[in-house]
Structure 1
C-alpha cells in the first residue's frame, strides 16, 4: 500500500513532499470551527431557555430527564413504574415542571444501579454530574490511545461528543466501557471481561464481543463477561424487585413496535433498518435486509479478529460493526466512533493511506451532526453508508496487516503530531 500522505518526486537528489488536503493545520481549523459552532449553540440554548425548557418545549438535556425520573421512582420504591409512560412522565415533571413531552424508559434493571443516585440532586446538578463524570471516563480511556494537541482538537470538535452531551445520554459511559474492555483483552483478560459484562446496561451494544472473543479463543474473558453480566442483572433485580425485570421484558415488545412504526425516530437511527424504512420498505423486508448486512458485519469482525494481529484494527472493526448489527442504535451512541477513528488514524499515519480513507474518517467524524438534518431534508439515512465505508477500510487494512504480520500496539501514541 503506497502512502498517500506523501507523493514523492525525485529532483536532484531531493524528495519533494506534496501534502494531502487534510493536514494538521486544517485539522485544527476545522475542529475549531465545529467546536465554536457547538459552543455558540450551547450558549444560545441556555440563554433562550425558560424553566429548563428550550424554545421548542424540549427540556435541557433531553433524554436525561428519563434517567432522573426513573431514579426518582426507584428511590421512592416504585422502580417498575418507570416502564409505565404516564407514571414516568409525572416523575419527569417533578424534575422539569415545564416539560410537556414524555420520554420513555426501556432499560434493564442493571442500568438502575447506575442512575439510582441521580434524583438525590436537582435536575440540572444531576445532569452536569452525570455527563461530566461519564465524559471524564470517556476521555481517560481515549487518552490511552491518542495524545497530542492535534488529537485533542479533533476530539474537541467531534460531533459525537457534543450530540451525546446535549442529549444527556449514556454514550460516554458505554463507549468508555467498550474501549476499556478492548484495550485490556490481550493483557488483562479478566478485567476486560468485567468491562464487557458491564455493558449489560445496554446489551444490544455488546453483541459482537462474543464473536471477537470466540475468534481468538479468549475463554477467560468470555466467561468473566458472562458471569459479570448475569451477576449485574441479578443484583439489579434483587435490589429493585422481580417486577422490574418483568416490566423490562414486557417493554421490549413495545420498544420494537415503537421503533418499527415511528418515522421521526428513523432520522436519528444510523441503522440499516431505519435506512430501509425511510424508503418505505415493509417491516419484514427491512429486517431481512438488515440481517443480511448484520451477518456480513459479523463475518468481517470474525475474520479480522481471527487472522489479524493488529489490535488497533481489531478494535476499530468491532466498534464500527456494532452499529451495523443492532437495528436499535441512535445518534448519541455514535460517541463510540471517536475510538475507531483514532485507531484508524494511527494506523494510517504509521502505515500510509489509501485513496479516500481520510475522507471516510472525516465523514464518520461529522456523521452524528449531519445525519439528522440530511435525513430530514433528503429523506435519506446516511448512517449505514458511512459506517459500511468505515468498516470496509478497516477490513481492507486488516487483511493487508494479516498478510504482512503487522502487530501494531494499542498503547498511546503521539503520531497525530506528525500530520503534515
Structure 2
C-alpha cells in the first residue's frame, strides 16, 4: 500500500535524508554568518554604541566583575550602582539596564572578566564557554554521521547566545557533561550537576529525576557540590552579598509580571501565554500545569530506568517546559535532546514524528524572535513540547542503545583502559 502524504511528509519524513540534512545545516550556518556580519557592519557605521559589536547582556557580567574586583560585590545586586558601571563601560551612553540576577556563585565565575576591556572580555568569554559546549555536542552526535561537524555549529541558538553575550553555552555544557557521566562516573556527574547552582532554574527537575531513577550517589554529590560552592561564595564575598542577592529577587519577579523583559525574547510557557494576550494569572496557571505534566513524566521515565541519556534528554526538555524564566539563549540546552534523538534514531531507527520534531527543534530558535515580535506567536513552547513528547515515548519504550552511547570521557578513564584503547586503535 502506497504511504499517504501525511506518512511520508510528517510521520516518517522520508524526504529528510542525510543529504538534505547536510544542505539544510549549511543554510543555517550561512544565515548565522550573515547575521554576525550584518551586526558588525551596523556597529561599524555607528548603529550600536560601545566597544562590542552586539551591545549585549555581557555588560551585566563585566560590570558585576568590576564591582567585585573593587571590593563591593554586593553592589552588583543594587541596580543604581550596577547600572552606573554599565553606562561607564559604554562611555556614559544611554543604554538599557542589564540586571544581574544570578546568585553569588556565578559572580565567582564572572570575577576575572573585568580584568580585560569589555569588548575583549566578551569575545574571550564566548570562545571559552563555546569550546566545551561544542565538544559536548560533538560527543553526543553519532560518529557515523559525517556531517556532525556542520551540525555542531549550525544550531541557531548558538548564534543567539553569542549575540546576547550570555551564558547559555556554559549551562548546556555543564548539563551535557553530567548526563554523559551519569552511568560510568556517577560521582563525577554529581560534581558537574552541582555546578548548575549558578543558574538554579535550569536544575529545577534534576533532584526529582535523580531520586526517581535511583541515582542516589549522584543526588547527594550534586547537593554537596552545590552547598560547597555556595559556602565558597559566602567566604569570598560575604553574607552581605547574599543578602543583596535575595533583596534583588523582587526585581527578578517583576521581569515576568511587569514585562521588564519582552515576552517575545523568552521561551517559557508563561511568556508564551502573555505573548498571546493572556494575563499574569492565566500565564501562571498554564505554567503550573505544564510544570506538573513535565515533572510527572520525568518521574515515569526515570522509574522505567531507560538509558541515562534517554532520561537526560527527557529531563532537559521538561526543564524548558517547567521554568518560567527561560530566555531564547537558554535554548542552547535544546541541542542536547535533539543530538540524542539523532544518535538514537541513527542507531535503532527513527520512530514516527521524530525526524520532523528534530527539524522543528533546529529551526525554532531562528524563527521565534521574529515570530514573537511581529506576529505575537510563541514558537518555542509548542516546539519544545513536541520534542518532549517523542522523547517521553522513547524513554518509556526504550530500544537497546549500547552501541549509541557516547564514548567515555577519556581523561576520566583508568590508565590501563587508556592504554588498551590506544593499542586497539593501532
Answer yes or no: same fold by TM over 0.5.
yes
Query: Which runs of 5 or more residues in structure 1 are unaligned?
Result: 9-17, 414-420
Alignment counterpart, residue 33 of structure 2, candidates 39, 43, 56:
39
Aligned: 1:89 with 2:96: no
In structure 2, what is the equivalent of residue 30 of structure 1?
24
8 Å CA contact 1:109–1:233 kept in 2: the answer is yes
Greater mean deviation of Cα atoms: 362-371 or 262-271: 262-271
C-alpha distance 96-52 of structure 1, shift in aligned 2 (>3 A): farther
Range 363-372 or range 115-124, more displaced: 363-372
Instruction: Return the alpha-carbon distance in structure 2 between the equivalents of residues 113 and 61 of structure 1.
Output: 23
Partner in structure 2 of residue 130 of structure 1: 125
Q: Say whether 1:220 aligns with 2:214.
A: no
Cα distance in 1 between the residues matched to 2:50 and 2:278: 31
How many Å apart are 1:356 and its aligned residue?
2.6
Question: Could you tell me how far 1:315 is from its partner in structure 2?
Answer: 1.5
* Residue 120 (structure 1) aligned to one of 112, 115, 121: 115
Structure 1 residues 133, 203: closer, same or farther in 2, change over 3 A?
A: same
* Structure 2 residue aligned with 1:303: 300
- Residue 107 of structure 1 is aligned with which of 92, 102, 108? 102
2:133–2:169 CA contact under 8 A, matched in 1: yes
- Which deviations, in whole Å up to 9, do the C-alpha atoms of 1:333-372 show, x marking residues without a partner? 0011111101011111222223332111111112221111
1:46 CA displacement: 1.4
> Counterpart in 2 of 1:15?
none
Which of 49, 55, 72 is residue 43 of structure 2 equivalent to? 49
Distance 1:188 1:207 in 2: 22
More displaced 10-residue stretch of structure 1: 85-94 or 207-216: 85-94
1:156-235 correspondence runs (5 A):
156-235=153-232
Q: C-alpha offsets along residues 144-186 of structure 1, whole Å, 9 cap, x if unaligned?
A: 2224531121222110111111111000100000110111111
Deviating 4+ runs (over 3 angstroms): 50-53, 55-59, 404-409
Q: Aligned-pair distance for 1:378? A: 2.0
The whole-number CA distance in structure 1 between the counterparts of 2:403 and 2:315 is 16
> For residue 278 of structure 1, what is the aligned residue in structure 2?
275
Quote the offset at 1:256 in angstroms. Answer: 0.8
Write out aligned runs for 1:69-80 (5 A): 69-80=63-74
Inter-CA distance 44–243: structure 2 relative to 1 (3 Å threshold): same
CA drift of 1:289 comes to: 2.1
**3-state SS of paired residue (2:139):** coil
Corresponding position of 2:394? 397
Count of equivalent residues = 398
User: Shift of residue 58 of structure 1?
Assistant: 9.2
Q: TM-score, normalised by structure 2?
A: 0.87
> Could you report, residue by residue, the CA deviation over 1:182-218 in whole angstroms, capped at 9, with x for unpaired residues?
1111111111111111101000101111111111221
State the SS of the aligned residue for 2:204: coil
Q: How does 1:250-269 map to 2 (within 5 A)?
A: 250-262=247-259, 265-269=262-266
Pick which of 43-52 and 286-295 moved more: 43-52
Aligned-partner Cα distance in 2 for 1:335–1:291: 23
What CA deviation, in whole Å up to 9, does each residue of 1:73-121 have, x standing for no partner?
Answer: 1000111111122211221133222452221111101001100000000
* DSSP-derived class of the 1:149 partner: coil
- Over the aligned positions, Cα root-mean-square deviation in angstroms equals 2.6
Cα 1:264–1:64 shift into 2, 3 Å: closer
Question: Which of 117, 126, 140 is residue 145 of structure 1 equivalent to?
Answer: 140
Conserved 8 A contact 2:172-2:332: yes
